[in-house]
Structure 1
Amino acid sequence: MTATASRAAAALRQAAGRLRHGWRPVLQDTLAATVAWIIATRVAGHPLPFFAPAAALNVLAQARGRRIRRTAEVVIGVAVGVLVAELVVQALGPRTTGTVFAVLLLTVTLAVAFGASSVSTVQATLSALYLAVVSPPDETLVPVRFVDALIGGAVALVTSQVLSARRPLVPLAGQVRQTFAELAGVLDDTAEALRHGDQNGARAVLDRARHADAAVDRLRDATRAAGEGLRLTVRRRRGLGRLRWVEGSVRQVDLAVRDVRALVRAAVTLTRGDSPVPAELGDALHTLGQAVRAAGDALAAEVGGRERESAGHRARTEERALAAVRSAGRLFTGDATLPLAMVTGQVRDTAIDLLRAVDAGDDDAIPDRVDAAAAGH
C-alpha cells in the first residue's frame, strides 16, 4: 500500500470513529431542522420559512445550558434584522449596494449601542442582509420571519431535552463523579511519584494537573445543562434545590483543583532534592485522594436525591481529609525543607476547600477543625 493510500485509509478510519461518537448530534440537528421546516410550512402555512431550520441549527450549535438564552437571542436578532431591512428597503429599494451598506451599518450599530451579544449581532445582521438581498420583505412577511425563528428555537429546545427530559440531573451526577475521580487520580499518581522519587513521573502528573481546569469547566457546563433541563420540566422544585447545592460547590471544587496543582508543582521540586521523601507524605496524599472520591460520591448522591447516602459520604470525606492533614502535619517540623512545607500546606488548603465543597458543617469552623488536625488533635 502506498503512503497516499495509507493516509487515506487512516483518514477514513478517523472519520468513521468521529461518526460513531458523534452520530447523536448529527441526527438531532437534522431532525430539529426538518421538524422546524415542517411546522413552519404545514402548520403555520409559511411559504419560504428559511429562518425556522436556520434558527433550530443556530440554537443547537450552542452548548447545552445556554440554549434558552440562545433562543431568545436568535428571535430578538431576527426581529431587529427584519425591522432594519424593512426600513432600508422601503427607503433605498432592494438588492442595491447602498441598501447592503446601510443594512450592515445600521444593524451592527444598533446591536453595539444596545450591548447585544455576538450571537444577537450576527443573527440580526444576517437576517437583515438576507431579507434585503434574497427575499425583500413586504407587509405580510415581516411577522412571518419572526415566527419562523420562534418555531425553530422552540423545536431546538424540545429536541435537545428529549433524551434527558425525565431525568435531567443524571448527566450531572456522572460529570460530578468524573471530575472528582480525575482530581483523585492526580493525587494518587503524585503519591506514587513521591514514593519512588520519580521526577519524570511527577512532571507528567503536573501536566495532567495543569489541564484539570477543563474538568471544572465541564462540571459547570453540566450544571448549566441540568438547570436548563429543570426549567423546562414541570416537576422540578426539589431538583432545583439539589442543583443549587451543587452550584454552590463548584467554586470550592475550582479552588481545590488549584490547590492540588500547586501541591503537584511543589512535589516536582521535592523530587529534585537530595533528601529522601518521607513515606508518610505519599500515604497522606493517597488518603486525601480517598477524601476527594468520597466528596464526589457525596455530591453525586445529593444530585440523585439520596440524602442519607450523601450524608454518609460527607462524613467519610471529613474523616479522610482530616486524616490526611494529620499525616502531613506530622511532617511539618523545624527541619522540613521548603518544598515539603509547601506540599503539606497545600494538603491543608485542599482539605478545607474539599470540606466546604460538600458543606460539611459551618464554613467558618472548617479551617479551625483542619488546623486542629494538623496540630495532631
Structure 2
Amino acid sequence: MNIQEKYVISGAGTGIGRAIAQKLSSADHICVLLGRNENNLNDTLSLLKPNNKHQIIVADIRDKANLQLAVNQSNLVAVNGLIANSGIGGENYWGDNDRWDDIVNTNLTGTYNFVNTFLPKLQKADAKKHILITSSILARLGVSNYSAYCASKAGLLGLMRSWAVQFAPEKILVNAICPGWVDTDMAQQGLQGIADNIGITKSEFYDIAMQSVPLKRMSRPDEIANLIGYLISQESITGQCIDINGGAIMNSIASGAYELALKYSKVRKAFGKEIAQHQAIQFKLADMATRIEAARLLCLKAAWEKDNGLNYDLSSSMAKVFASETAMWVTVEAVQIHGGYGFVKEYHVERLMRDA
C-alpha cells in the first residue's frame, strides 16, 4: 500500500504543472495546487483523482508577502515535497518594454520565494523530503533574444546545487529537470513567436527546431510528470540536473564541439598549413563525426521502436549511454584540437566540455 504523501506544486494550473498533479494524484498523493489563476487551478483540480484533501492556493510567487499570507491561510502542517514549476517564457529586448524583470522575478526569484516560504512545512515532514525545480534545456544553450529566460533558467541550476548542499544534513533531496521542447501552450506560443520573427510559418519552424532533437518530436507533459514521479520515489539522488529533451542536449553538445573544432582546424596553421590538412587532425574529426551520427541513429532506432509499439527498453538505454559518452568524448577531442586554447574561456569548447 502506498504511503499518502503531500506535494505543493507551483504553476499547477496548466501544462507541465497540471500533468505533474495528475501523475501524483493517480499515485494517491495529496496535491496542493499553487498559482495565480484560480480558474486554471480549479480546472486542474477537477482532473485529479478524487480526494477531499487536495487544495488550491491562489498566490503570486513574485510577492513574498502575498505568498506568506496565502500559506498562513492554507492550514498546511507538513508537506513531503515542493515542486517549483512556475515559469514564463518569451523574448526580451532592452528598452522601455524590456521583460527582463518580469521573467527573472517569476522564474528565478519566484522559485527562491516559493521554496523558502514553504520550507518550514517541508522540514516538518517525517518521511521523504524533496525539492524539485523545473529548469530548461536553455539553461545550457543560448537562444538569441531569450537572455532573461536563459539566464533565469541557468540561475535555477545554481540555486539547486546550493540548496542540495545546504539541505543535505536535513535529508532533503534537491534536484532539477531540464526539459527541451514540451507540447504546452507556452511552447506553442514560443514556436509562433520565433516563426513570426524570422518570417516563416509555425509548422516550418517546428521542422527546423526538431532537426536538433534526435527523437524528432516534442516531449509530452505526462512524460515530464513521469520523471518527477520517479525523482520523488527515490532516496539517493540529489544535486543533479536531469535532461529530458529527446536526446537534444547530448547531441547538441557533441555537434557544437565538432563544429567549433572543424572551424578552428581550418584557420589554425602548423608547419606551414592548416591543421585540418594534417592526417592526425583529420582522423580525429572523422571519428567525432562518426560517433555523433551513431548516437543520432541509436536515438532514432529507439524512437522507431516506440512508434511501432515495440519494446524499446534496450535500445533507449543504449542510446542514452552512448549519446552521453559521445558528448564527453567529442568535447575532449575538440579541446585537444584547440590545443592550449581549448582551456581558455574565450573559446567555447571548454564550456561544452564542462557541460558534458
**TM-score relative to the length of structure 1:** 0.25
Compare the two structures and name the one with the higher helix fraction.
Answer: 1
**TM-score relative to the length of structure 2:** 0.27
Compare the two structures and name the one with the higher strand fraction.
Answer: 2
Structure number with larger C-alpha Rg: 1
